[in-house]
Amino acid sequence: QASSILQACEKRIRYCSSMVNASEWEDGDHVSAVLEKYLDGDILSAEERRCVDHVIQGHGVSYHPNDVAGVLKSVYTTRDDVGFPKGLHSMDFGQHVSGPGLNDALARDDIDTDHRINLLDMETITIDDASTVEIDDALSARETERGIEVFVHIADPTRWLHMPDHVLAVEARQRTRTVYLPDGKIPMFPSRFGTDVCSLREGALSPALTMHCCIREDGSIIEDSMDVFPSNVSSNKRLTYDMVDRILLEDNNTMVSVLHRAAERRERRRGQDGAQTLHIPESSLSVSYNEDTKEKEVTLTRVSNDIASASRRLVSEMMILAGDIVARVGSSLSLPLPYRGQEMPVRPSNEELEQIPEGICRSYYMRKFMLSSLTRVSHPIHHTGLGLPGYVQATSPIRRYGDMLAHWQIKSALRGDLPLYDAESLQTVVDEVQKTSKRIAVLERSVDDYW
């Protein structure tokens, strides 16, 4: 099955020097090694491609060379220990995870119950695409004399998964994150847990981890207002981005408007602090099977770019704000966390920029100069792209294992316990997660490029 991916991508594979001897292809470990090399960007020779054919025929795998996504899906929906890289597993979690493992998690008491704050009476909304089923963030805000008080509520899977050695947590670590493909996704958690139990669904009582602060008119955060705490919330209304955009055009007296004003303040402030904001349109790619024509149909939809969509900028700012708060609180506790940062890029000269048209063209040009993000676990590092002294991704624990690591660390400190990971052990896990996530990203881009 691993070999079939390589063979299905034949048109995109160029020749290269040695990788694996032809006589050794019967060993499944070598199949795995070649797949891993492919996911890291390496390529096969003609002789090795013939070996791929041999292995595929020997295992009775059938495929069509122009149906890459179909092959990928067939691999995901079967379980085989042929050596598929860690993190790229099937959509079937197996009985030990989705059965007894899940039931064991759901039966566990809440170890944070003594200091979990009840926010059920607070107006709370979620803003997502209409198709989103894993709802991992919700928002609340209100005007006060000190400024705009903001609450960012994040789904709390560690309410049930107290330790990283639980079978669901072990499976999540192997998967690393939810994998998104044009014809479907491979979730990090079973849907019964990620979608039904953890998601902040409208009208449901949901455990959450809440990031709270008060924002001054100039966009700065009042230092003594920052807090992170376990909570219980209930979403009053599920909104889509389009719905929020319409609300902002029609009514200035809603909580959505208060959130929008808070987001505008933060965006201005980050810009003053050197944030590098690139406005590049995004697209949504989907592949569906037409029962009538018996063919797959590809739909490419342009998503409103964030210059035009106030709702997307609002949500983006609130998620950045949450990561800022977690980094500051973590630093005050001397807590090992996956702190993310970005060094200052070498910017082109003003003369160079003036030759590039403003807007999309200039954004694409500027993106070439942006440096990759860095991760340190001992202390926050400056994030030039976001204009922040520190940042921690912690807003998608249903979909990203790294975010769940941050939740475990923060919550153990809030309970007065030692953190689950010291700096050295956390760095080891973070390195593993980033390596697997990189491979998944390469796979996702490869399939997107094909369609």
Structure tokens at 254: 């809603």
Structure tokens at 62: 């059938």
CA distances from 361 to 325, 354, 355, 364 (A): 33, 11, 10, 5
Full pLDDT tens readout for the chain, 451 residues? 455 555 544 433 332 323 444 444 344 444 444 444 544 444 555 555 555 555 545 444 443 333 333 444 444 333 333 333 443 445 668 777 888 999 999 999 999 999 999 999 999 999 998 888 899 999 999 999 999 999 999 999 999 999 999 999 999 999 999 988 887 788 999 999 999 999 999 999 999 999 999 999 999 999 999 999 999 999 999 999 999 999 998 877 899 999 999 999 999 999 999 898 777 777 889 888 888 888 888 999 887 655 568 999 999 999 999 999 999 999 999 999 999 999 887 788 889 889 999 888 888 888 888 888 889 999 999 999 999 999 999 999 999 999 999 999 999 999 999 999 999 999 999 999 998 888 888 878 877 887 8
CA distances from 114 to 85, 326, 383, 384 (A): 41, 21, 35, 39
391-392, strands of its sheet edge to edge = 374-376, 339-341, 391-392
Q: What is the C-alpha separation between 391 and 145, in angstroms, rounded?
A: 28
**Vertex 449: Cα angle to 448 and 450 (nearest 5):** 90
> Angle at which helices 310-332 and 401-414 pack, to 10 degrees?
50
Q: What is the C-alpha separation between 313 and 278, in angstroms, rounded?
A: 12
What pLDDT is stored for residue 70 in this prediction?
A: 42
Q: What is the C-alpha separation between 300 and 6, in angstroms, rounded?
A: 25
CB 434 within 8 A of CB 374: no
Q: What is the C-alpha separation between 164 and 171, in angstroms, rounded?
A: 10
Structure tokens at 385: 């792209």
Find the helix or strand (DSSP H, E) in which 392 lies.
strand 391-392
Most distant CA pair in the chain: distance in Å?
A: 76
179 Cα distance to chain centroid: 9
Count CB atoms within 10 A of the CB of residue 330.
25
**Rounded to 10 degrees, what is the CA torsion of 383, 389, 393, 395?**
-130
Query: Per DSSP, which regions of 9-164 are E strands?
Result: 117-118, 125-128, 137-143, 148-155
